Each structure stands twice: as C-alpha cells, then as structure tokens.
Amino acid sequence: MDMIRVLIVDDSAVLRSLLRSILEESSQIEVCGEACDAFDAREKIKRLNPDVITLDVEMPKMDGITFLRNLMRLHPIPTVMLSARTEKGSQLEVEALALGAVDCVHKPNGEDILTIGGEIIKKVILASHYQVKNHPSEYPSLAPQLTSEGEYITDRLIALGASTGGIPAIERVVSMFPMDCPPVLIVQHIPEYFSTTLATRMNKKYQIHISEAYDGQLIETGSVYLAPGDDHLEVVKKSGRYYCRLHKGEPVCYQRPAVDVLFESVAQVTGGNASAALLTGMGKDGAEGLLSMKQQGCFTVIQDQASCTVWGMPGAAAALGAQNEMVHLNRIAPVLLNSCYKRGTK
C-alpha cells in the first residue's frame, strides 16, 4: 500500500518537530516536508505534491484561513486544520470547514500535543481518502432562478443530512433557498462547540433565517433549524403544528445528532408531506431514515458521487434504493423546491 505523504505547515519549529514525530509513528504515513509559513508551503506543495496537509490556523505573513481559501480554489488538497480551542478558534474552524478543510484538531491548552497524537493520525489517514473539491470563497445569497415560482404544499417540510464535507454542501443548498421556502431541518455531524457558530455564520450570509434549534421550538415557514452538536433533533406534531424536539438519546450510527433520527421522525409525523436530501458524508447514517421517508411517500434525493467529498452516506442510501432522484450538488436546492410546489401552481 502506498504511504500517505504529509506536508506539515506551522510557524513553530517545535510544533513541526512534534507533529513529525507523531505522524511518523504510523506505518501508513510519511512526512514528506515541513513549511514555516504559507509562502513556504506554496512552493513545497508544487515541488512535493503531498497527499494531505496539516495546517495551523494562525500563522504570520498569511493566516491559515487565507491560505486555505487560495489552496481550495487553485489546488485542492485534503487539509487537516490545527487551532486553539477558543471562541475565535471555533469561528475560524467553522470557516475552514466551509472552505473545504476535511477536519480540525484542537491544540491542547497548556498540554503536550503528544496527548492528541492518536486523533491527529486518525484524521490524517481519513483525510487521505477524501475527494476534495474546488470551493468558491462565497456562494451567492440567492440564485435568481430559485425565487418562488408557485404555491407551496401546505405544511411541507424539507430535511437535510450531511457529514464529512457537509458544511460547504449545506451552504450551497441553503444559499439557494428563497425567504418564503418551506421550513428546513438540518443534521450535520459536528461537535457541540461548532453548531452555534455555524448557525450564526450562515444566518449572517444568507437571506433565509437560520438558527440552532432548541427544544420545543415552533417550526415556521422561511426558517432553517440546525441540530445542536450533541443532541438528536426530531420533529413532533402538536395541535396541527410542527415543533423541534431535542434529546440526548443513544448515538445512532455512532452519531449524535444522527440524520436517521431526524429522517425517521419526519417520516412518521408528516404523512409523506416532506422532501429530504442526503448529502456527502462518511458512513451510512441517514440511509435507513431516507428509505423510511420514501416508503411513507416523501420525496427523497441523494447527492451524486461526482460532487461528493465522500459518497459513503449517499452511497449507502443508493444501495437501499432510498432515493427518488440522484443529482449533482448544484441541482439539489431546485429539485427539492420543485417537489414542494402544489401541482398546477408552478
């Protein structure tokens, strides 16, 4: 098996040395080089052509986010970010994931980085299997063709699920939804400390209202509800209205929140009056739930392999025949919206 060639990018010589010693403990990894800043990294990427990069968020001359934005636009390479666990660090990590970084690792505060060596090795090995895409730095707030073109089916819901590579995919879909679209519920596999930051980020960027869901929240038209990072999100119906329900049940497919939990609840309470899309992600979470939705009469879509970072979750759904359609990421929003119109009003 070919070795995974890794370039370490960090302004600290001490940290570069520690990272090298950590990564070289794995029989699958070869550290092919080190870079002290973004400009050094740019030249070494051209010369060494690494399979994976580890990239410090905060560096002199050019910060890691700016470098990552340029890298993903010009020469996409699977990238694992390293940052401090702070409020600022959380915001930068969410931005990095939105730009196409595969994953993030927190540098220990006042601790030896060797304590997280296993996590770093695992994430680098996983990153080597990812199909990284070119990512625009910003998606448009609304594509003109997606202004509402008819009357929506009463009480229609839209559900989205994603994991690895999901943040840029979700942003692409949400960026195209008009302000009056049916309510949207989202499960993205994400740590607890990321979800509030992600919801705030998207709410500032796009015209539809986006928030982190809370227990008992009324589900309303023109709003997007993102599952918190350590809670399952379900839809419940009371007195003819839909509400969010959060709970800390056991992980499903090793995940909490789990896409399957959301999709199964939508299948049960809507009587088929919903649409769903399963986006990029590793594993099989969401596949069974999407099948349940289809069997209840809901409209179901999966992202195609060509536009996925990882086709694990959509691929698992395809193996079950859980989708009505399989489409490129750029077509998911219009296909979902089209399924929500009343017949004869579009």
Active-site positions read 163, 189, 285
C-alpha distances out from residue 289 to 12, 126, 252, Å: 46, 25, 11
Phi-psi region of 319 (alpha: psi -120 to 50; beta: other; left: phi over 0): alpha
Q: Crossing angle of helices 166-174/87-99, nearest 10°?
A: 80
Identify the helix (H) or strand (E) that includes residue 234.
strand 232-238
User: Prior bond to 257 cis, omega within 30?
Assistant: yes
Contact 255, 189 (CB under 8 A): yes
* Antiparallel, parallel or unpaired: β 52-56 and 79-84: parallel
CA-CA distance, 127 to 52, in Å (whole number)? 7
Q: Helix H segments across the chain? A: 13-23, 38-48, 64-74, 87-99, 117-127, 166-174, 192-205, 259-270, 287-295, 312-320, 329-340
- Phi-psi label, residue 110: left if phi above 0, alpha if psi -120 to 50, beta otherwise: left
Cβ neighbours of residue 276 closer than 8 Å, sequence gap 6 or more: 158, 159, 160, 161, 263, 266, 290, 293, 298, 299, 300, 301
Give the Cα separation of 291 and 163 in Å (integer): 18
**Integer Cα distance of 60 and 56 in angstroms:** 10
Helix, strand, coil distribution of the chain in percent, nearest 5: 40, 25, 40
**Helix (DSSP H) and strand (DSSP E) numbers for the chain:** 11, 14
